Amino acid sequence: MIDVTGVNMVELVKKAYDLSRPQGMGMLHFTPDPLSDEEAQDFIQSNGEVHLDYVRGRACKFNVFNKDGKFEIRDSWYDHTDKQLVELMAHVGITIEAGQSDHGCACNCDTCRVKRGDSKLNPESDFDKALKAREDGTAFNITGFNV
């Protein structure tokens, strides 16, 4: 566990959101807009805990736990790389070392998808296509769903 007691929780939530990518059906709800301070505050419970699952289609999968007034996060971040965890912590002033892998458990990067034999992998990622479609105001089709 990583101690995050005393960090700016609004900034932590916003950065966790920014570092997360849409996955699966989350593409239907994806928006490239950042979270405002007020929106981030809404995810912080009265006891200081944070529980992010899918937010606007992004697989955030991020939690802050309150252990008797001490706030902690896991030392690995589901669906994220170790480098993303290092970047998240650096954003709030905490220095940690990256693990042995550049990829977290259940990593959804193209390299890991190829290793798993994902037959639906495209040269341009679905995330990139969705961003471009949103910017252009055009429809985007992923596995039979128009976004």
pLDDT, tens digit (0-9, with 9 covering 90-100), for 8-32: 999 999 999 999 988 888 888 888 8
The pLDDT of residue 143 = 52
Name the β-bridge partners of 71. Answer: 66
Reported confidence tier of residue 107, pLDDT bands at 50, 70, 90: low
Contact predicate 60/44, CB 8 Å: no
Q: What is each CA distance from 112 to 57, 73, 144, in whole angstroms?
A: 21, 25, 23
Nearby residues of 140 by Cβ (< 8 Å), 6 or more positions away: 27, 129, 130, 132, 133, 134, 146, 147
Is the pLDDT assigned to residue 101 strictly greater than 80?
A: no
**50-71: string of b/e by CB count within 10 Å (b at 16+)?**
bebebbbbbbbbbbbbeeeeeb
- Segment (H or E) for 145: strand 145-146
Is the pLDDT assigned to residue 100 strictly greater than 80?
A: no
The pLDDT of residue 18 = 96
The pLDDT of residue 62 = 96
The pLDDT of residue 32 = 87
Tokens of 117: 């034999």
What span, in angstroms and rounded, lies between the C-alpha atoms of 45 and 49?
Answer: 5
Contact predicate 92/4, CB 8 Å: yes
pTM of the model: 0.71
Contact predicate 98/42, CB 8 Å: no
Domain ranges of the chain: 2-107
- Segment (H or E) for 70: strand 70-73
pLDDT, tens digit (0-9, with 9 covering 90-100), for 23-59: 888 888 888 899 999 999 999 999 999 999 999 999 9
The pLDDT of residue 116 = 63
